[in-house]
Structure 1
Amino acid sequence: MRGAGAWAPLCLLLVAAAQHSRPQLSERPVFTCGGILTGESGFIGSEGFPGVYPPNSKCTWKITVPEGKVVVLNFRFIDLESDNLCRYDFVDVYNGHANGQRIGRFCGTFRPGALVSSSNKMMVQMISDANTAGNGFMAMFSAAEPNERGDQYCGGLLERPSGSFKTPNWPDRDYPAGVTCVWHIVAPKNQLIELKFEKFDVERDNYCRYDYVAVFNGGEINDAERIGKYCGDSPPAPIVSERNELLIQFLSDLSLTADGFIGHYKFRPKKLPTTTALPVTTTFPATTSLKPTMAPCQQKCRRSGTLESNYCSSNFVLAGTIITTIPRGGSLHATVSIINIYKEGNLAIQQAGKNMSAKVLVVCKQCPLLRRGLNYIIMGQVGEDGRGKIMPNSFIMMFKTKNQKLLDALKNKQC
């Protein structure tokens, strides 16, 4: 139940909005689901604001200010269902009107600083799930000269032979919460890109779930092309691209922030030997050592033992549906939609709404054979990148309802 005192600032905001949009103060602005807005300034708000916003909705506002200017968006009020990762109800703000870079995602009652587009167009999108919890948001947009846009903006296309990239506010203060930056580095076709972080301090987490830097080969955010995902306070090892494009993504959630980072890149000829950094989830030192063993794909493809005997020796145990399979060389990259997880270990788990998924690497793509659309019990180890690693002798079997009771019992087993 929200206290009556919370309504006072809402009333003031509504009066301000009414003064701005209409000469008669008695006419309260009516906020609808999305719209097209043009001009020097204006207000947008969630449907029915300040009443509770409706469930299961997707509203899109497209803002255009005069040519040659940029859009500045200031949230006056925000009250959406709260979640650290903003998985349920959230507002996304984008550069441009279509396929633009996301500037930020917001939920809860966190009110970000001014958000600035890189052109005269901005898109705001609010999504709510089946359960709502709040009065929505209201924001004001205005036009500004490009050189007034401040330091909240980050990311962009980098095509010079060398250069730097850094988190917003670097080095004066911590990077802001709720920011997404994407730098796309493009070298000439016959060159590669060398990447090095000089200073690095991003919120620490064993799986880099909250704030992180991810680096990808190519020009798209594609898990199969991810070189590494980094957080903590030690700079990642130097990285060399496989091709002439690299994508660097920085994301901060709505809680803790840190100093941030500055990185440098330079182009280099393709003929030099390349050494791409091993994919790692964090910048913490790895404890595993690499020892020469027989090539895994020469081993026999068979599982041994039982669910019980393999449970403790496995890093993770889950039941799930295979939803994507991407062959790469002799291996297979698969995405598993999780039905139930019995042992998580260091497995990196993604969550979108109520759905959880994990990435697994089948070292030998047909051994064991995982087919898309089928349900499996999967037991395996976890690589340094947080991805499940399935060896030819990993314990995999079809998941059936009758297995549920045994798996639930194993979940409580002390290893």
Structure 2
Amino acid sequence: MRGANAWAPVCLLLAAATQLSRQQSPERPVFTCGGILTGESGFIGSEGFPGVYPPNSKCTWKITVPEGKVVVLNFRFIDLESDNLCRYDFVDVYNGHANGQRIGRFCGTFRPGALVSSGNKMMVQMISDANTAGNGFMAMFSAAEPNERGDQYCGGLLDRPSGSFKTPNWPDRDYPAGVTCVWHIVAPKNQLIELKFEKFDVERDNYCRYDYVAVFNGREVNDARRIGKYCGDIAPIYVFNSFMRNELLIQFLSDLSLTADGFIGHYKFRPKKLPTTTEQPVTTTFPVTTGLKPTVALCQQKCRRTGTLEGNYCSSDFVLAGTVITTITRDGSLHATVSIINIYKEGNLAIQQAGKNMSARLTVVCKQCPLLRRGLNYIIMGQVGEDGRGKIMPNSFIMMFKTKNQKLLDALKNKQC
């Protein structure tokens, strides 16, 4: 049961909204189910707010601010049916008006932090079921410059050659509960993105189920393109955009319970061709095929391992022992993520590292030749493309990894090719 004092903030919010709209109408604003909103700022609210919202409804608001700016959405009041997973009555917030990634889903009475789109469009959708209801929500949207925003909110478009991003309140105090931030980093088409977290402290969980940072290749939240998901107090080190893409999406999410210090990260653009290093030059050659798309002739070759560990070591750009943790078939090839047990020859292979855990992305050009199965341990030798991703051809040397191989591999690691 809500006391009289609970209505005080609602009345103040309505007074503010009325003052804002008084130029158009002397009446108190009426909130309807959805609408099209444009301009520098405005208010949206659930149907009939501050009255109880109707059951079995689906309302959509499409917000557009001036070109070149981003949308900032601040919830001033929220009172929806409470559920840990927000399965019944909830408000969804999306980037863009159609097919955009979801920035967050909210219910109950906990107000999330400010939400920021990556462009000048945002969509808000409220859905209610047939049962318990509340007084709904009221939120204010406003336009902001993409690169000139304060610390009270987070996210947006990052397209300068280098820059930083951080959790709300960093470094003065913990990040707030119930916040979702999405940073969209866009480099020129001939460049890749290098990412580094300088400080990192996000609620720890073995599976990063509660608070986490996820990094995706491209512009959308898509598990098939996820580079990694991170939490705890060990910073992910140098995540490379290892596909031939010039965009990264960084998503930070905190739930409604424990919080922590947060993080600050830095990014910079670099040419697609990996820079030279002081390491011994690699004498092996890259495959002639640049795109490495599977062809009928290539994939009809007899799939059979040839040679020995010693014989294939020097002719390979990289040599590692690892566990296959994800496999996805796309365009006739198998795209795999391998958790590295040990690396004996790295070359220019792009390695993702989170604390002591290292992984690499590989493409088996002909999806079943050689065959990699998820959950199994392999010794893998292959070439490296210009994007830093391992390329496994039908004649690449692959075998099951066994402890007895360890001594020989350690000896090969010191071998001069």
Does the alignment reach a TM-score above 0.5?
A: yes
Query: Is the Cα–Cα contact under 8 Å of residues 183 and 247 in structure 1 kept in the other structure?
Result: yes
The more displaced of 121-130 and 75-84 is: 121-130
The more displaced of 397-406 and 230-239 is: 397-406
User: Using a 3 Å threshold, how does the CA distance of structure 1 residues 26 and 380 change in structure 2: closer, same or farther?
Assistant: farther
User: Using a 3 Å threshold, how does the CA distance of structure 1 residues 199 and 346 change in structure 2: closer, same or farther?
Assistant: same
User: Using a 3 Å threshold, how does the CA distance of structure 1 residues 372 and 50 change in structure 2: closer, same or farther?
Assistant: farther
The more displaced of 402-411 and 392-401 is: 402-411
Which residue of 2 is the match for residue 358 of structure 1? 360
1:336-391 per-position Cα deviation (integer Å, ceiling 9, x unaligned): 99999999999999999999999999999899999999999999999999999999
Which residue of 2 is the match for residue 389 of structure 1? 391
Query: Is the Cα–Cα contact under 8 Å of residues 84 and 253 in structure 1 kept in the other structure?
Result: no
What's the offset of the Cα at 1:178? 3.2
1:142-201 per-position Cα deviation (integer Å, ceiling 9, x unaligned): 567778742244334445554433223322332333333333444556654433222111
User: Using a 3 Å threshold, how does the CA distance of structure 1 residues 219 and 305 change in structure 2: closer, same or farther?
Assistant: same
Which residue of 1 is the match for residue 110 of structure 2? 110
Counterparts of 2:393 and 2:136 in 1: how far apart (Å)? 48
Counterparts of 1:300 and 1:169 in 2: how far apart (Å)? 59
Counterparts of 1:331 and 1:170 in 2: how far apart (Å)? 42
What's the offset of the Cα at 1:33? 0.6
User: Using a 3 Å threshold, how does the CA distance of structure 1 residues 352 and 269 change in structure 2: closer, same or farther?
Assistant: closer
Counterparts of 1:36 and 1:142 in 2: how far apart (Å)? 14
Matches within 5 A, 1:291-310: none
Query: Is the Cα–Cα contact under 8 Å of residues 201 and 231 in structure 1 kept in the other structure?
Result: yes
Q: What is the TM-score when the length of structure 2 is the normalising length?
A: 0.56
Query: Is the Cα–Cα contact under 8 Å of residues 116 and 152 in structure 1 kept in the other structure?
Result: no
Larger radius of gyration: 2
Which residue of 2 is the match for residue 21 of structure 1? 21
Counterparts of 2:281 and 2:56 in 1: how far apart (Å)? 37
Query: Is the Cα–Cα contact under 8 Å of residues 106 and 254 in structure 1 kept in the other structure?
Result: no
User: Using a 3 Å threshold, how does the CA distance of structure 1 residues 266 and 222 change in structure 2: closer, same or farther?
Assistant: same
- Provide structure 2 residue ranges, at least 5 long, that are not aligned to the other structure: 240-244
SS at match of 1:358: strand
Counterparts of 1:238 and 1:26 in 2: how far apart (Å)? 56
1:311-353 per-position Cα deviation (integer Å, ceiling 9, x unaligned): 9999999999999995259997999999999999999999999
SS at match of 1:148: coil
What's the offset of the Cα at 1:44? 2.0
What's the offset of the Cα at 1:91? 2.2
Which residue of 1 is the match for residue 282 of structure 2? 280
RMSD after superposition: 13.1
The more displaced of 96-105 and 335-344 is: 335-344
What's the offset of the Cα at 1:34? 0.5
What's the offset of the Cα at 1:262? 1.9
Counterparts of 1:247 and 1:219 in 2: how far apart (Å)? 6
Which residue of 2 is the match for residue 214 of structure 1? 214
Q: What is the TM-score when the length of structure 1 is the normalising length?
A: 0.57
What's the offset of the Cα at 1:209? 1.4
Matches within 5 A, 1:247-266: 247-266=249-268
The more displaced of 397-406 and 223-232 is: 397-406
What's the offset of the Cα at 1:134? 1.8
The more displaced of 390-399 and 95-104 is: 390-399
Query: Is the Cα–Cα contact under 8 Å of residues 334 and 365 in structure 2 kept in the other structure?
Result: yes
User: Using a 3 Å threshold, how does the CA distance of structure 1 residues 176 and 408 change in structure 2: closer, same or farther?
Assistant: farther
User: Using a 3 Å threshold, how does the CA distance of structure 1 residues 150 and 326 change in structure 2: closer, same or farther?
Assistant: same
Percent of residue pairs bearing the same amino acid type = 92
Query: Is the Cα–Cα contact under 8 Å of residues 236 and 283 in structure 1 kept in the other structure?
Result: no
Count of equivalent residues:
412
User: Using a 3 Å threshold, how does the CA distance of structure 1 residues 68 and 203 change in structure 2: closer, same or farther?
Assistant: same
SS at match of 2:236: coil
Query: Is the Cα–Cα contact under 8 Å of residues 55 and 129 in structure 1 kept in the other structure?
Result: yes
User: Using a 3 Å threshold, how does the CA distance of structure 1 residues 118 and 223 change in structure 2: closer, same or farther?
Assistant: closer
Query: Is the Cα–Cα contact under 8 Å of residues 101 and 182 in structure 1 kept in the other structure?
Result: no
User: Using a 3 Å threshold, how does the CA distance of structure 1 residues 369 and 83 change in structure 2: closer, same or farther?
Assistant: farther
What's the offset of the Cα at 1:256? 2.7
Query: Is the Cα–Cα contact under 8 Å of residues 237 and 355 in structure 2 kept in the other structure?
Result: no
The more displaced of 186-195 and 16-25 is: 16-25
SS at match of 1:152: coil
SS at match of 1:113: coil
Counterparts of 1:97 and 1:263 in 2: how far apart (Å)? 29
User: Using a 3 Å threshold, how does the CA distance of structure 1 residues 348 and 294 change in structure 2: closer, same or farther?
Assistant: same
SS at match of 1:16: helix
Query: Is the Cα–Cα contact under 8 Å of residues 319 and 376 in structure 1 kept in the other structure?
Result: yes
- Provide structure 1 residue ranges, at least 5 long, that are not aligned to the other structure: none
User: Using a 3 Å threshold, how does the CA distance of structure 1 residues 270 and 88 change in structure 2: closer, same or farther?
Assistant: same
Query: Is the Cα–Cα contact under 8 Å of residues 81 and 108 in structure 2 kept in the other structure?
Result: yes
Query: Is the Cα–Cα contact under 8 Å of residues 164 and 266 in structure 2 kept in the other structure?
Result: yes
What's the offset of the Cα at 1:234? 0.8
Query: Is the Cα–Cα contact under 8 Å of residues 229 and 385 in structure 1 kept in the other structure?
Result: no
Query: Is the Cα–Cα contact under 8 Å of residues 280 and 384 in structure 1 kept in the other structure?
Result: no
